Amino acid sequence: MHFRAAFVLPIRFCHRGSLILMSFSTFGLCPELLRALREKGYVKPTAIQQAAIPAVLQGRDVLGAAQTGSGKTAAFGLPLLQQLASTPALPPGRTPRPVQALVLVPTRELAAQVGETVVNLARYLPRRIKVAVLFGGVSINPQMLALRGGADLVVATPGRLIDLVAQNALKLAHVQTLVLDEADRLLDMGFGDELAQILGLLPARRQNLFFSATFPPAIEGLAHRLLHDPLRIRAEPPGDEAQTGAAGKAPAIAQRAIEVDAPRRTQLLRHLIQTEKWTRVLVFVATKHAAETVADKLRKAGLEAEPFHGELSQGKRQQVLMDFKASTVKIVVATDVAARGIDIALLPVVVNYDLPRSAVDYIHRIGRTGRAGGSGMAISFVSAGTDAHFRVIEKRQSYVILREQIPGFEAVEAMTLSVTDPQGTGGIKGKRPSKKDKLRAEDEAKRVDQPSDIEPGL
């Protein structure tokens, strides 16, 4: 595979430049896809769509720096469907249909969401495109049945895909396009081996589309190995992606950091929900236990809250999502892994009740709000024990978020370092970092690069 210093298309420029007037019809997409877009209410391509659609249609490899919320699903989905629609249908009786496009995603929620978007976009195409959505945590039998007769496009999580290949339910030898969606999360969640196995089953000559919110060395290495002369698309300069919406309206996501003592976070959350009149909020916690406990406390305080984590049944998770979308549930308290792929249009607020483990997770979490150019707010609760960790996240983003204190909830415990004294030589909390503080800060700094907490059973 070859990789050379490729053309970088800064998408911001697109929005400020002449491309801003571009519409979907300029890509040469077929009328049936344009009709589906109109009905979905997509008037103008988002930045990543403007850059990626023509390149994918030309058959180029793409390396897209884009988080969920940027419109990346349609950025690869539309050209894939256009390509599939233009391949002649198999003569009757010639089955199974060979899988021509494979989209790998890290979680079942994202698989379901990508599948739904693609099916929706394909609904008026004259040639029926068969889409199979495959993920673990549910019985394999219906998926095996669905694969009878083959599929044109497969959206899958890696583990289940390998199981299905092992059972001869599908073959990957005819895949022409591979999409890695949320590639950083695929590796973060420990799917490296499965990915390598799947790559070994694909034809060497194929188109590769690679989307990732962040580019740690492992992802750069993978891109280097996989991609051939890719068009590199950067949705925003590092650190800015959260500040500017997918459709280029700035600022899309207001990031806030509130200092609070850890034991008072639930009370503060309640207070903010009530005083700031949040209509819907997604609250991130570190563990399933915390999801249950926080949701329970909120419910006891009369708020419509539900936990959302990997130990709930798929049915229960779908129900919570539906209720959240319908606004009958206003607060969802979720773990990272469970919340992957949650796509709620206009989700106004995301709260990091527990801080994310890594800067990668931070970007993904705040990507739940301000979707497709809508505005949103991401709030992180920072307490003495997590202060150093939050600074590492800020540093990774080349970004400092002003610390707030909410009257009545001021943090009493000393933070490691202060805002006015980032070197830690004695600051607003009046405390120099002790040796223990420094060790803790070092420990936090190491933790920030560790893979995320993976919930068993996912």
Out of 29, 50, 70, 227, name the contact with ligand AMP by CB under 6 A: 70
Q: How far is the CB of 372 from ligand AMP (least distance, A)?
A: 3
Minimum gap (Å) between residue 76 Cβ and ligand AMP: 9
Closest distance of CB 121 from ligand AMP, Å: 10
**SS3 at position 71:** coil
Q: Please state, as a whole number, how many other Cβ atoms lie within 10 Å of the Cβ of residue 2.
A: 9
The answer to whether 245 contacts ligand AMP (rule: CB under 6 A) is: no
Residue window 404-433: x/- pattern of binding to ligand AMP, with contact defined by CB under 6 A: ------------------------------
Question: With 0-12 CB in 10 A as exposed, 13-18 as middle and 19+ as buried, what is 201?
Answer: middle
Q: Binding segment for ligand AMP among 6-14, 64-72, 161-169, 357-365 (CB under 6 A)?
A: 64-72
Closest CB to ligand AMP among 23 and 287?
A: 23
Beta bridge partners of 379: 256, 351
Minimum distance of ligand AMP from residue 111's CB (angstroms) = 13
x-or-dash pattern for ligand AMP, window 292-331, by CB under 6 A? ----------------------------------------
**In the complex, minimum distance from the CB of residue 30 to ligand AMP, in angstroms, rounded to a whole number:** 17
Contact assessment for residue 333 and residue 285, using Cβ atoms and an 8 Å cutoff: yes
Cα–Cα nearest to 391, from 433, 349, 430: 433
- Spatial CB neighbours of 23, under 8 Å, sequence gap ≥ 6: 43, 44, 45
* Cβ neighbours of 163 (radius 10 Å): 15
> What distance in Å separates the CA atoms of residue 188 and residue 452, rounded to the nearest whole number?
6
Q: In the complex, what is the shortest distance from the CB of residue 68 to ligand AMP, in angstroms, rounded to a whole number?
A: 5
> Within 13 A of 119's CA, how many CA atoms are on the CB side?
13
Q: Is 72 in the site for ligand AMP (CB under 6 A)?
A: yes
Q: What is the DSSP string of 145-170?
A: HHTTTB-SEEEE-HHHHHHHHHTTS-
Q: Spell out the residues 6+ positions from residue 201 whose beta carbon is closer than 8 angstroms to its own.
A: 165, 171, 172, 173
Residue whose CB is less far from ligand AMP, 226 or 372: 372
Q: Which is nearer to ligand AMP, 179 or 268 (CB)?
A: 179
| Residue 343 interacting with ligand AMP (CB under 6 A) | yes
Tell whether residue 68 is a contact of ligand AMP (CB under 6 A).
Answer: yes
Q: How far apart are CA 66 and CA 450, in angstroms?
A: 21
Using the rule CB under 6 A, give the single segment among 39-47, 87-95, 150-158, 309-317 that binds ligand AMP.
39-47
Footprint on this chain of ligand AMP (rule: CB under 6 A): 42, 44-46, 49, 68-74, 343, 345, 371-372
